[in-house]
Structure 1
Amino acid sequence: MVSKGTCWSACQPRESNRLQMYYLPEDVLYHIMSYLDYRALSRLSQVCKTIYHFANRDAVWKKIAKEFINTGITRQGKDLYPHIPLKDRVKVSQNWYHGICRKEVMLKWRINLLPWIQLDGDVLYLSQAADIGVYHLRPDRGRLQRSPMALFSGHQEDVCRFAVTDTHLVSGGSDGKILVHHRRNGFSVEYSGHNQEVNCLDCRGGLIVSGSRDRTARIWTLSSNFPRCTIPMNDRVWSVAISPTQSSFVTGTACCENFSPLRIWDVERCELLCCLGSEFRRGAGVLDIVYESPFHLFTCGYDTFIRSWDLRLSPRKCVMEWEEPHDSALYCIQTDGNHMIASGSSYYGVVRTWDKRQTRCLEMFQLSTAVSSPVYCLRFNTSHLYATLATTLHSLDFRQGPRPRRSHPLPQTAVGI
């Protein structure tokens, strides 16, 4: 009780004697915030300016971001987009998970093509017939400029595949040729060796591997336009991928012969290391291969499955698989390096997103309704997904929802009700 004559205010604890949260050491604050989910952390950041600035640091959000899809944090903890705040990426990740996006047709052309794309920061490379255009991305406008800022050409027929490195662009075409373009000065060198179309190629660290309809895979280097090695495949080669270690590569074939369509080869000795899988249907060719780490890769193709392979385990069986619900062939895939996979199907421009921690797809996006077309290629970053169909380039913007429909004006008699 307060004795008579004692001032009530004197009994109250002084503000300076209270332990404010922002007085705690930073390591203690990090430890406290590590127990919060993204909703609680967002609410905490609204307490005061000091907590706001501390709670917005990437180090606070990194643990949360690693559990969400497509935040740019890989399984190994590497940040692929350090220039974008992690808090913003976690927010956009919610739209990826729930399929909330705005669809745009960024580019159209009149004739049916088999376009391929690559992303390099804010630059998009797009093959159209025998040329590869370089476009600066303007996501806020929703479209590309009509004319490319650069053009790589030289093929006599359509470009089938191309790869982009820091210094070069390497393309393979239906004319059986491989062109190596220098990105800065535009100088190009022609590599000849295949006598039929080059269906696929990959380039890493000066090493080039190509696969062709002529049933061979060839190994090249940027320093010589003669193949270092030619490997008879006894089947058409649809896809290739070089390991991040550059010591081996994988080939995917049409599966028209009595052996596995997935095989791993030694780069130095040009010898077969192992075959992946043991039971493949005849004709279940592999159309795309993606390395996520030196021992982890993903494949897809005509048999409608996405498969995950761990090369540290038995090569006879994949560690996980995801089936396309509508029994469509899968033309292309890409992963975020952590939890998400995006796939492109063979009918009506269907793009699906998958969470590796579950077997059913997360969301489906149908990009074409009037005319059926495969998704020939797709690429994404943390905010956008780009996909090419036979006559269009599409964009899915996950930073915002779909455009609201225009509502019809109310009748004059209904105004004010």
Structure 2
Amino acid sequence: MSNLSILQLPLDILVNIMTNLSFADLRNVMLTCKALRDLILANNSIWRLISRDCRERLILHNSSDNSQTLTLSWYNRCRISHNWCRGIYRSKVVIYHQINYMPWLKFHESQVLFLSVGSNLQCYPNDKKGLPNCKTTLWKLQVPTVKRFDVRTDDISRFVVKNNFIVCGNRDGCVAVYRMENPRRKPYLLHHLIDCHENGQVEVSAVEIVNSTHKPCIVTASDSIATLRFWSITPDINGTNGVTNSRSVCTNEINLGDNVGVRCVALNSTESKLSIGPNGNSKPLLLDINTSKLVLTFESTKNIKQAVRDVRWHNENIITFVTHSGMLQMLDTRTGNLVYEAIDPFQSTLYCVKSDGVNSILVGSSEYSRCVLFDARNPAHHVQMYFTQKKSSPIYSLDFDSTKLIAAADRSIAVLNFNINPYTVETRDYSHAFEFVNR
């Protein structure tokens, strides 16, 4: 009988053996000795294959608009993914205020948290664990506002951050454009667009930036009128930083037909197509930026009771969007067909959506401060639900990376940390399928 040990085999042969084991067998091998355990934990190729073959592995990447490079090993990615799918996390409300708002947030490159509350835009750093530290602000500013004598507020509706620009759409009908040299430093006001639509009588509900690397072109839309406007901003490089040293002109105005208005817009990564979430339709529109013509219109799905509340690009060809009726759908822009369709477990209205560009999709619901995780490979039912806060509220905005979820409710912001030991917290598993019974 040979006295050779399995540990004496060449490393590539050992790794090949491990990749052919089931997950349960691999766990048992890790329990046999420290050498095999360290080998398995440190080898990324083993866990990369496990994550590829196992359908339960989700949130292995950051959100699709987060370009931060992941430094986690593939073992830790799979471990944290297990926590996402099983409802194993530690939650904390990091910001609380007494007044109801509709906040918007962005966890910029997993480094700083941008948050709009009312007419204020705030930036928070991370702590040593990589979680937003909302006890201190890096900077805070109030966007310029215009007094309107109606029921509207002067709150920020949405903002977008691209390259070195921050563009804030405001409910008073104006837009503030900021230049940002460093996310950790306070940006300066480049231009204040006043009365963007209907002489300022309607709010700006959606904004986007085109050609943000050079002279920015701002896209504005309102949920009250079916018109898109493109604004060219020309900074005065001879002047000092300020509002008076820039000029704006409306270079293009596109009428969207008999749609009621626009809730949201999103530009693809090549800046060639703009997806538009309209009121009065259950599917988004698609605009070709180069020709200024609508490529997809979906006349057959027009319905005054419907609305696309949020829209994102899952990849270069597929749009992910959520509707007022609680539907999460994915649309292939090449064919105009739906390639994925799921519904909220409680059939509640969905307010926001984000994906990792692979298989994971997170949505924010209108009830119970609830976020829902879906798998793009399985439209039958959701993967997991997260009740982010005790108070019942819509989730107006969310963002995530591979280890954490940040959700904005009407009076608070919550952070859910999934990079934890599963034995230190109680599992909150709401992956069960619900059945509606009419009595």
TM-score normalised per structure 1 = 0.82
Residues 102 and 396, structure 2, Cα contact 8 Å, conserved in 1: yes
Q: Distance in 2 between matches of 1:169 and 1:402?
A: 41
Verify: 1:364 aligned to 2:374, yes or no: no
In structure 2, the CA distance between the partners of 1:74 and 1:102, relative to structure 1 (3 Å rule), is closer
Task: Tell me whether 1:152 sits opposite 2:141 in the alignment.
Answer: yes
Task: Confirm whether residue 227 of structure 1 aligns to residue 250 of structure 2.
Answer: yes
**Which position in structure 2 is the counterpart of 1:254?**
279
- String of CA shifts for 1:374-415, please: whole Å, max 9, x gaps: 11001111111111111000111222359769xxxxxxxxxx
Q: Write the deviation string for residues 6-63 of structure 1: whole angstroms up to 9, x where unpaired.
A: xxxxxx75x5xx375554263x444433323444445545645477246513333222
Give how far 1:153 is off.
Answer: 2.8
> Aligned letter for 2:324?
Y
CA distance in 2, matches of 1:223, 1:35: 60
Q: CA deviation at 1:280?
A: 4.8
2:106 aligned with 1:118: yes
Deviation at 1:69, TM superposition (A): 0.2
- Give 2:177's aligned amino acid: V
Give, in whole Å, the separation in 2 of the partners of 1:200 and 1:382: 27
Note if contact 1:254-1:261 (Cα within 8 Å) is conserved in structure 2.
Answer: no
**Quick one: distance in 1 between partners of 2:34 and 2:387?**
44
Residue 374 of structure 1 corresponds to: 394
Considering only aligned residues, what root-mean-square deviation do their CA atoms show, in Å?
Answer: 3.0
Q: What is the SS of the residue equivalent to 2:383?
A: strand
Counterparts of 2:67 and 2:122, CA distance in 1: 29
Partner residue in 2 for 1:56: 42
Residue equivalent to 1:100: 88
Q: How far apart are residue 361 of structure 1 and its match?
A: 1.3
Q: Does 1:202 align with 2:208?
A: yes
Alignment match, 1:161: 158
Provide the secondary structure at the position in 2 that maps to 1:91.
helix
SS in 2 for 1:282: strand
| SS of equivalent residue, structure 1 residue 60 | helix
- Consecutive unaligned residues in structure 1, runs of 5 or more: 1-11, 406-417
User: Can you list the C-alpha shifts for 1:209-234, whole angstroms capped at 9, x where unaligned?
Assistant: 32213432123456573233211234
Does the 8 Å CA contact 1:22/1:51 hold for their aligned counterparts? no
Report if aligned partners of 2:261, 2:278 keep a CA contact under 8 Å in 1.
yes
Q: In structure 2, what is the Cα distance between the partners aligned to 1:248 and 1:139?
A: 39
Q: 1:287 to 1:105 in 2, by over 3 A?
A: same
1:216 aligns to what?
227
| Gap change, CA 1:79 and 1:112, over 3 Å in 2 | closer
Change beyond 3 A, Cα 1:202–1:172:
same
The answer to whether structure 1 residue 239 and structure 2 residue 259 are counterparts is no
Equivalent residues in 2 for 1:292-331, closer than 5 Å: 292-313=314-335, 315=336, 317-331=337-351
- 8 Å CA contact 1:260–1:278 kept in 2: the answer is no
> Is 1:33 matched with 2:18?
yes
The gaps in structure 2 that reach 5 residues or longer are: 146-153, 236-247, 427-439
* Distance change (3 Å), C-alpha of 1:73 and 1:333: closer
Alignment CA distance shift 1:79-1:39 (3 Å): farther
How far the C-alpha of 1:260 sits from its partner, in A, is 6.5
- In the aligned structure 1, how far is the partner of 2:354 from the partner of 2:268? 15
**Separation in 2 of the partners of 1:191 and 1:38?**
57
> Of the candidates 353, 372, 376, which is equivalent to residue 333 of structure 1?
353
The alignment covers a number of residue pairs equal to 382
In 2, distance between residues paired with 1:63 and 1:220?
48
**What's the offset of the Cα at 1:297?**
1.3
Q: Measure how far apart 1:281 and its partner are.
A: 3.8
Tell me how far apart the structure 2 counterparts of residues 395 and 402 of structure 1 sit (CA, whole Å).
Answer: 20
1-structure distance, mates of 2:355, 2:103: 20
State the distance in 1 between where 2:173 and 2:128 align. Answer: 35
For residues 9 and 328 of structure 2, the distance between their equivalents in structure 1, rounded to whole angstroms, comes to: 51
Residues 158 and 388 (structure 1), Cα distance of their counterparts in 2 relative to 1, 3 Å cut: same
Aligned mates of 1:111, 1:79 — CA distance in 2: 34
**C-alpha distance in 2, partners of 1:388/1:55?**
35
Greater gyration radius: 1
CA drift at 1:205:
4.6
Question: Among 184, 190, 193, which residue is 1:191 paired with?
Answer: 193
2:176 to 166, 179, 185: 179
My pick for the range that moved more, 202-211 or 48-57, is 48-57
Query: Which amino acid is the alignment partner of residue 395 of structure 2?
Result: V
Aligned equivalents of 1:20, 1:325: Cα separation in 2: 49
Q: Relative to 1, partners in 2 of residues 1:199 and 1:79: Cα closer, same or farther, differing over 3 Å?
A: closer
